[in-house]
Amino acid sequence: MDKKFDNTDCGCGCNNEEEGVEVITLEFDDGESVECEVIGVFDFEGKEYIALLPNDESDDVYIYGYKELGEEEFELVDITDEDEFKRVADAFEKLAYEEEDNSENKK
């Protein structure tokens, strides 16, 4: 499933950033588009991945391979190998749990 993304200025003056939150829009082959908050980019097994939280009232998290092409350009890459996806998703869950645990300990 190919995706296009658009993180250009939406025209409202927010530059698609609300309180330090970066938002990108994924456009799928079927014409559907979904705005997603960038949770973060993380390294795993020598590769970079990106985690996205769709703004669709679900609890889903989208995880893609991530390639920086330039200062303001990047590419999202589908993870087609099921075993790789499971390992990456598990690593993300562990990172998210550690981040949540660290946040709670700072209170």
Return d(Cα 71, Cα 78) in angstroms, integer. 21
Give the pLDDT band (50/70/90) at residue 102.
low
Q: Supply the pLDDT for residue 34.
A: 92
Both structure tokens of 45: 């097994």
| pTM attached to this predicted model | 0.74
> What are the sequence ranges of the domains in the chain?
3-105
pLDDT in tens, 12-68: 444 444 457 899 999 988 998 999 999 999 999 999 999 999 998 888 999 999 999
pLDDT in tens, 67-100: 999 888 899 999 999 999 999 999 999 988 887 7
